[in-house]
């Protein structure tokens, strides 16, 4: 009897100790399979659910290493997705019917890139046939100089070499986000490594170069390196111009925290790099800005743009339908005005979000709202432009449900845009304007959905998995706070 009592006491003691030490033994790494329903379902297929004592992986099998390997595998899937064109060549309209179009091999021929080309880097970048942001164009030219051999196989070789270079950029992006997110949230970088859009849009252009530069800029800012972060974001804006919008949330949050000096230094460095790169490409006092502005101002709305909707409504009007909305296509000047007003509205909304929440919002949330809004109002929104959202989705800690909602609209639009373009050649086989209109609007709603989820989490920190304690482990205030990490709120507009 005594021994039984002793045994009972010992069991009770162990249980008490376990309960008291529950916080001490809380997982040091947030396991997606424990807190995300979609990840939990996926874990039944691969990996299995995480146990209670989840410890940080050490050695080779840490989060960054595993996610880098998965990211390379996903981008390899993108090569497979383009296989028909790799085998048969990128010819129109065949590449649209098979949805394997890519700017990379097409521009190789049309912009006269290649090792045997007499064009130097500056001449190649200034060529109107290239039509790429300066840094992306320079990277394309550099890769093209390695291509040699049969000219008929040169576009395919250029595509393969570019895929390898972009894989390196993707690896850098995944590693940077994994580190910037912090050890506990390092698996959130899976939002980049396993993103479905990598399969379809990852190899359309050199957009992943801009994604990598944005990710490293955010990492540098999180470490308090304002100048380095500005240098990297300026380079990112020269590879993916929409990245420049990130200056707005950094400035807004810096002013709210009364840490305007590092934020202003970041913004000025970004602008200086952008202007400096343009001066190298256009060695004139005006840095080629007037010509670039004139070309953009006079361009009509491009594929994927919100401002293309009136034209699509006009094209899709059924015959003998009197109540169809009377719309005409927006002119180039009207689309330019609408875009500028839209960008101004996005900047204002970003500042409002930064200053109106009761608790200072995390940079990732405000940046995701700004970037999503910027993409929605742009004059042209190519398929690959959405890749810029990936590091922000990961650092914002959004749920996979929200990611997949957006990815579904992206994949549907990816197929639809090529069929719509091909309809210009074979109208009765391609996608009619009305159907493309539905897919375009769905994609814009998907991008807006990401922005809305980021706004909700910023306004209500209890929805934020990064800040909310999970399984007894304390959350983090803001892994990307950097120079404003310990600053107190200075300016704030109390919500009604």
**What pTM value is reported for the model?**
0.88
Is omega for the bond preceding 396 within 30 degrees of 0, making it cis? no
Q: What's the pLDDT at 46?
A: 62
CA atoms within 13 A on the CB side of 406: 23
Structure tokens that stand for 380 in this block: 């042209």
Q: What pLDDT shows up at residue 21?
A: 41
Q: What is the chain's alpha carbon radius of gyration, rounded to the nearest angstrom?
A: 25
Sequential pLDDT tens for the chain (496 residues): 444 333 333 333 333 334 334 344 445 667 676 676 776 677 666 655 554 444 555 555 677 888 999 999 999 999 999 999 999 989 888 899 999 999 999 988 877 776 544 455 666 666 665 778 889 988 998 898 888 766 778 899 999 999 999 999 999 999 999 999 988 888 899 999 999 999 999 999 999 999 999 999 999 999 999 999 999 999 999 999 999 999 999 999 999 988 889 999 999 999 999 999 888 877 677 777 888 888 888 999 999 999 999 999 888 777 666 666 677 889 999 999 999 999 999 999 999 999 999 889 999 999 999 999 999 999 999 999 999 999 999 999 899 999 999 999 999 999 999 999 999 888 888 899 999 999 999 999 999 999 999 999 999 988 888 887 655 455 568 899 888 887 777 666 655 4
Burial-class residue 341 by CB neighbours within 10 Å (0-12, 13-18, 19+). exposed
Domain ranges of the chain: 25-52, 56-484
What is the pLDDT, as a whole number, of residue 20? 37
Q: Which residues of 58-69 are buried (b: 16+ CB within 10 A; e: fewer)?
A: eeeeebbebbbe
């Amino acid at each position: 009897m005594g021994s039984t009592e002793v045994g009972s006491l010992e069991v009770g003691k162990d249980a008490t100790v376990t309960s008291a030490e529950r916080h001490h033994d809380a997982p040091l790494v947030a396991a997606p399979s424990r807190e995300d329903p979609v990840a939990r379902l996926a874990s039944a297929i691969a990996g299995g659910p995480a146990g209670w004592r989840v410890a940080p992986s050490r050695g080779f099998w840490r989060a960054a290493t595993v996610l880098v390997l998965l990211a390379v595998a996903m981008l390899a899937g993108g090569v497979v997705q383009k296989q028909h064109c790799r085998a048969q060549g990128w010819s129109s309209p065949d590449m649209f019917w098979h949805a394997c179009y890519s700017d990379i091999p097409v521009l190789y021929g049309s912009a006269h890139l290649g090792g045997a080309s007499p064009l130097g880097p500056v001449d190649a970048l200034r060529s109107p046939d290239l039509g790429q942001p300066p840094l992306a164009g320079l990277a394309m030219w550099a890769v093209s100089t390695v291509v040699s051999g049969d000219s008929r196989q040169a576009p395919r070789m250029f595509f393969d070499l570019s895929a390898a270079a972009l894989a390196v950029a993707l690896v850098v992006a995944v590693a940077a986000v994994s580190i910037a997110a912090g050890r506990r949230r390092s698996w959130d970088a899976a939002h980049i490594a396993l993103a479905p859009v990598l399969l379809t849009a990852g190899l359309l252009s050199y957009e992943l170069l801009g994604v990598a530069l944005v990710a490293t800029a955010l990492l540098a800012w999180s470490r308090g390196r304002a100048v380095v972060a500005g240098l990297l974001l300026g380079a990112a804006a020269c590879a993916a111009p929409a990245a420049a919008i990130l200056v707005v949330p950094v400035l807004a949050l810096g002013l709210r925290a009364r840490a305007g000096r590092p934020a202003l230094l970041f913004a000025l460095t970004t602008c200086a790099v952008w202007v400096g790169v343009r001066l190298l490409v256009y060695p004139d006092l005006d840095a080629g800005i007037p010509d670039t502005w004139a070309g953009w101002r006079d361009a009509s709305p491009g594929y994927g743009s919100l401002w293309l909707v009136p034209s699509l409504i006009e094209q899709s009007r059924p015959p003998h339908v009197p109540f169809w909305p009377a719309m005409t296509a927006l002119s180039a000047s009207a689309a330019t005005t609408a875009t500028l007003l839209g960008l101004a509205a996005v900047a204002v909304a970003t500042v409002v979000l930064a200053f109106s929440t009761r608790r200072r919002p995390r940079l990732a949330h405000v940046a995701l709202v700004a970037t999503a809004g910027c993409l929605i109002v742009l004059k042209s929104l190519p398929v690959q432009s959405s890749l810029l959202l990936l590091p922000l989705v990961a650092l914002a800690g959004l749920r996979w449900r929200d990611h997949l909602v957006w990815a579904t609209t992206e994949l549907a639009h990816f197929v639809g845009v090529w069929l719509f373009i091909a309809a210009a050649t074979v109208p009765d086989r391609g996608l009619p304007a009305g159907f493309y209109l539905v897919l375009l609007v769905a994609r814009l709603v998907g991008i807006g959905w990401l922005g809305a989820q980021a706004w909700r989490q910023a306004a209500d920190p209890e929805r934020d998995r990064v800040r909310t304690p999970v399984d007894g482990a304390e959350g983090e205030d803001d892994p990307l706070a950097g120079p404003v990490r310990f600053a107190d709120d200075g300016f704030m507009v109390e919500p009604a």
